């Protein structure tokens, strides 16, 4: 059985304890590879390598860093089918989704920051003839990057690309549930000639290897994407150490459909924004609010489209919904469906596990589930479920739906559908979310700041924001008189 290896100081190595964890293919419910159960000894080795590599990498020419990162992007493009297949096997998502979204976005992340660093400028001010005050922004040191399982290579590269481009060295930990693409990525880094120690990947459990990264005194900045509860623990450890922190956390995103929308686009995209990646995208719209005038029509058309989604073997071409990521996660989602029933919810479709015939008969599949008859403030509508489950609720007035939409502890993204430009602007202004999509979903220019409000996170990634996060600003004020 294949053994995934850590990537430390430019080499693929075993964990020092020689112990491994099972890695399960969720579509088959079967162990298919093993992953290092790394601990703080491995993290120590990774930090030492990263510290030793820092001086040379941070002072290397921008041209050199650009070239190496672009070479890695080229290799991702070359191996895109292998990577997409690996991501599907690890995660349960349809191969087609990985081919069209995850892997192209991973190489786009590398390329974007490989070139963004060439245009990253800092400021100079001359208040009068007396002083020139300029700002220099330099790499900080060893960055700790921790990423989740839902978009494994995409979110992994989203962190490490700006960190490396800015001149930091990195100790990274992908989710233990989906480690394979990060392992393949480490091989591409070797092939691309990334200098030893610049990027180190330590596989293993969050509470062990992840926690050792967070606690390490020589890692002054942490970029984390994952659940809000984990984010709280990380902040509690890192804050008293005065580490620089970027936390991209959970969401419970509203999708608001006004009666004056382009109905067909709204329904079609809402099916996607509800169930893409089995609803396991932090930006999925899990609470749909529909203006009462079109509520019945919307529900009917939505259900008819959801029932046409093919659920099954993720490697099959026309499958739209694959397996959820693990048995434990499947049970969590199914428990939430039970909670919804206890809260008076009516299941219009789905609500159950699906048994897929053949190769995937032991896999973790849930039928896309649509629930109505719930109040906006019940637990089902307040807590993040992160699976193929959406609720639909009617509303009468704009102010009312804004209150519903803003009622959760989260504030990651929101979508609204209306042909009325003034309303689009007015409602966007009042929604407490880091991203608002009007008549679209999941499209984004990589130059824009990305991140959540409230308990969806602290700090912003993307564009210049990420390069600012991964650098330290210093002001120099010169008396020129």
User: Would you name the residues annotated as active-site residues?
Assistant: 248, 282
Q: Which of 345, 344, 342, 362 minimizes the C-alpha distance to 353? A: 362
Residue placing its CB nearer to ligand NDP in the complex, 312 or 434: 434
DSSP-derived pairing of the beta strands 435-438 and 413-417: parallel
Residue 86 or residue 238: which is nearer to ligand NDP going by CB?
A: 238
Q: Which is nearer to ligand NDP, 104 or 227 (CB)?
A: 227
Query: Considering the complex, what minimum distance in angstroms separates the CB of residue 78 from ligand NDP?
Result: 26
Q: How far is the CB of 468 from ligand NDP (least distance, A)?
A: 18
CB of 463 to ligand NDP, least distance (A): 15
Q: Is 157 exposed, middle or buried (0-12, 13-18, 19+ CB in 10 A)?
A: buried
371, 389 contact by CB (below 8 A) = yes
CA atoms in the 13 A half-sphere facing the CB of 448 = 10
Per the listing, tokens 């690890």 go with 90
Nearer to ligand NDP, 147 or 168 (CB): 147
Q: Which residues bind ligand NDP (CB under 6 A)?
A: 146-150, 155, 173, 175-177, 205-207, 210-211, 214, 225-227, 230, 233-234, 248-251, 282, 384, 386, 412, 452, 456-457
Nearer to ligand NDP, 116 or 222 (CB): 222
**Sign of the four-CA dihedral 174, 178, 179, 185:** negative
- Least distance (Å) from ligand NDP to the CB of residue 115? 23
Phi, psi of 287 (to 5 degrees): -125, 115
Q: With respect to ligand NDP, which residue has the nearer C-beta, 20 or 386?
A: 386
Task: In whole angstroms, give the CA distance from residue 359 to residue 417.
Answer: 40
Residues found in the chain: 481
303-324 burial: b if 16+ Cβ within 10 Å, else e: bebbeebebbbbbeeebbbbbb
Q: Would you say 23 or 107 has its CB closer to ligand NDP?
A: 23
Tokens describing residue 245? 């922190």
Closest distance of CB 96 from ligand NDP, Å: 20
- d(CA 150, CA 126) in angstroms, rounded, equals 47
- Cβ 386 to ligand NDP, closest distance in Å? 5
Q: State the residue number with the nearest CB to ligand NDP.
A: 206
**Min separation Cβ 453 and ligand NDP, Å:** 11
User: Shortest approach of ligand NDP to residue 264 CB, angstroms?
Assistant: 29
Q: Between vectors from CA 246 to CA 245 and to CA 251, what angle results, nearest 5°?
A: 135
For the bound state, the minimum distance from the C-beta of residue 220 to ligand NDP, rounded and expressed in Å, comes to: 16
Nearer to ligand NDP among residue 65 and residue 216 (C-beta): 216
């Amino acid at each position: 059985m294949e053994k995934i290896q850590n990537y430390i100081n430019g080499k693929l190595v075993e964990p020092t304890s020689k112990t491994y964890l099972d890695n399960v293919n969720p579509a088959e419910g079967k162990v298919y590879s093993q992953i290092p159960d790394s601990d703080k000894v491995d993290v120590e080795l990774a930090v030492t390598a990263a510290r030793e590599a820092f001086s040379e990498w941070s002072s290397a020419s921008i041209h050199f860093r650009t070239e190496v990162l672009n070479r890695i992007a080229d290799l991702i493009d070359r191996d895109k089918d292998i990577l997409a297949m690996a991501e599907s096997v690890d995660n349960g998502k349809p191969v087609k989704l990985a081919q069209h979204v995850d892997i192209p976005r991973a190489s786009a992340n590398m390329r974007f920051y490989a070139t963004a660093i060439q245009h990253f400028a800092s400021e100079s001010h001359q208040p009068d003839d007396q002083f020139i005050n300029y700002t220099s922004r330099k790499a900080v040191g060893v960055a700790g990057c921790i990423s989740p399982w839902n978009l494994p290579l995409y979110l992994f590269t989203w962190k490490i690309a700006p960190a490396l481009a800015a001149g930091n060295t990195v100790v990274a930990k992908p989710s233990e549930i989906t480690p394979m693409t990060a392992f393949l990525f480490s091989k591409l880094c070797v092939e691309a000639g990334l200098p030893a120690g610049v990027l180190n990947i330590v596989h293993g459990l969050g509470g062990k290897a992840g926690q050792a990264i967070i606690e390490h005194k020589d890692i002054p900045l942490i970029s984390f994407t994952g659940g809000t509860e984990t984010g709280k623990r990380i902040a509690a450890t890192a804050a008293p150490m005065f580490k620089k922190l970027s936390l991209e956390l959970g969401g419970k995103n509203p999708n608001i459909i006004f009666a004056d929308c382009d109905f067909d686009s709204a329904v079609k995209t809402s099916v996607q924004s509800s169930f893409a990646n089995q609803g396991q995208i932090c930006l999925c719209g899990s609470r749909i609010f529909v203006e009462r005038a079109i509520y019945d029509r919307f529900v009917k058309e939505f259900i008819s489209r959801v029932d046409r989604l093919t659920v099954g073997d993720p490697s099959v071409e026309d499958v739209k919904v694959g397996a959820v990521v693990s048995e434990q996660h499947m049970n969590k989602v199914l428990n939430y469906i039970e909670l919804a029933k206890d809260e008076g919810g009516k299941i219009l479709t789905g609500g159950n596990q699906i048994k897929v015939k053949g190769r995937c008969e032991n896999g973790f599949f849930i039928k896309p589930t649509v629930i109505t008859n719930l109040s906006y403030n019940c637990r089902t509508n307040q807590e993040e479920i992160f699976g193929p489950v959406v609720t639909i609720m009617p509303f009468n007035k704009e102010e009312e739906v804004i209150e519903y939409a803003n009622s959760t502890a989260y504030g990651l993204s929101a979508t609204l559908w209306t042909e009325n430009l003034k309303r689009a602007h007015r409602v966007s202004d009042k929604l407490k979310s880091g991203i608002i999509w009007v008549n679209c979903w999941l499209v984004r220019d990589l130059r824009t700041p990305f991140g959540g409000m409230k308990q969806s996170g602290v700090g912003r990634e993307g564009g210049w924001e990420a390069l600012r996060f991964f650098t330290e600003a210093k002001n120099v004020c010169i008396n020129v008189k």
